[in-house]
Amino acid sequence: MPSFKADEASNYEQRITRLVPGYELLHDLTAAQLKTLLPDEANILVVGAGTGKDIIALAQLNPHWHFIAQDISDDMLAIADQNFTNLGLSNRVTIVNGPLAEPSGEHIDAALCLLVLHFLPDNGDKQDLLNTIRAQLPHRAPLFLADLMAPETEFERESQLLACRQLGLTEIGEQRMRHNLLHEFYPLDRMRLAELLAQTGFDTPHHYFKALGFTGVVCRAD
Ligand SMILES: C[S@@+](CC[C@H](N)C(=O)[O-])C[C@H]1O[C@@H](n2cnc3c(N)ncnc32)[C@H](O)[C@@H]1O
């Protein structure tokens, strides 16, 4: 997994839009669904909040929602914190630096985990994170999940690299991404994702976003 520390944090916002085709759209579509689903007063858990993009997209759609911004990289969270301050959002966000803890008893209406789970191996680590998220959620609360999935055609990954070049990725960046796609991600296929979600207390995942390998699904806590 990338470290998301130092330079990997400070250049994240420039890098990510060239590495994930449809990055902005993924966040816009996730936010639109939450706006449709949730009441005006809601508390949203964002696991792997990074530099705050998920929360900024959501906060723009509703002025009352509160957020928990959790991440294991203090460098990413420091940028998020600055972004929240710049946008006047700080009083609506609780920052949690470190692994997701046991539930505090605070009511949570929905959770997001965008572009995080694909970095964890399927050796129990993905399951542990999903179990920890599930423990925070009441029955029927939605979880929005987005990850690089296993390729569905033999030309998908190559096309994805080409799409990244069209988004401005350099040749060196492409070589790095080609390597990372093989060595830094642990992509699941649809069946395994559905199985893991069932094992961790979520219902059937419904796909709402697909940009070559990057896939967004929504499911609900059983
Ligand atoms: C690609 S970034 C995605 C950030 C944000 N969700 C977005 O869409 O821009 C992945 C983030 O997940 C965080 N991360 C990785 N493993 C994690 C874990 N087990 N729990 C919480 N955050 C984690 C990393 O530190 C990093 O900030």
Q: How confident is the model at residue 1 (pLDDT cuts 50, 70, 90)?
A: confident
Higher pLDDT, 102 or 201: 201
- Locate tokens 């959790």: which residue? 70
Residue 3 has pLDDT above 90, yes or no: no
Tell me: the pLDDT tens digits for 38-88? 999 999 999 999 999 999 999 999 999 999 999 999 999 999 999 999 999
Specify whether the CB–CB gap between 117 and 196 falls below 8 A: no
Q: Write out the DSSP string of 13-26.
A: HHHHHHHSTTHHHH
Residue 189 is part of which domain span?
6-220
Least confident of 101-105, 136-140, 151-155: 101-105
Q: Is residue 1 part of a domain?
A: no
Other CB atoms within 10 Å distance of the CB of residue 98: 11
Question: How many angstroms does the Cα of residue 62 sit away from the middle of ligand 1?
Answer: 23
- Of 1, 13, 71, 180, the residue with max ligand 1 atoms within 8 A of its CB, to mutate for a pocket test, comes to 71
Q: Is residue 13 part of a domain?
A: yes
Give the C-alpha separation, 14 to 3, whole Å. 16
Q: What are phi and psi of 68, to 5 degrees?
A: -110, 115
Tell me: the pLDDT tens digits for 25-46? 999 999 999 999 999 999 999 9
Q: Given this model, what pLDDT does residue 179 score? A: 96
Q: Given this model, what pLDDT does residue 162 score? A: 97
Tell me: the pLDDT tens digits for 123-144? 999 999 999 999 999 999 999 9
Q: Sheet harboring 93-97: ordered strands across? A: 93-97, 66-71, 43-47, 110-114, 142-148, 214-220, 206-211
Token couple for 157: 């990954």
Give the C-alpha separation, 176 to 189, whole Å. 23
Atom of ligand 1 nearest to the CA of 26: 8
Q: Is residue 104 part of a domain?
A: yes
Q: Is residue 135 part of a domain?
A: yes
Q: Is residue 60 part of a domain?
A: yes
Q: How many structural domains does the chain have? A: 1
| Mean of per-residue pLDDT scores for the chain | 97
Q: Given this model, what pLDDT does residue 130 score? A: 98
Q: What is the CATH number of the domain that holds 148?
A: 3.40.50.150
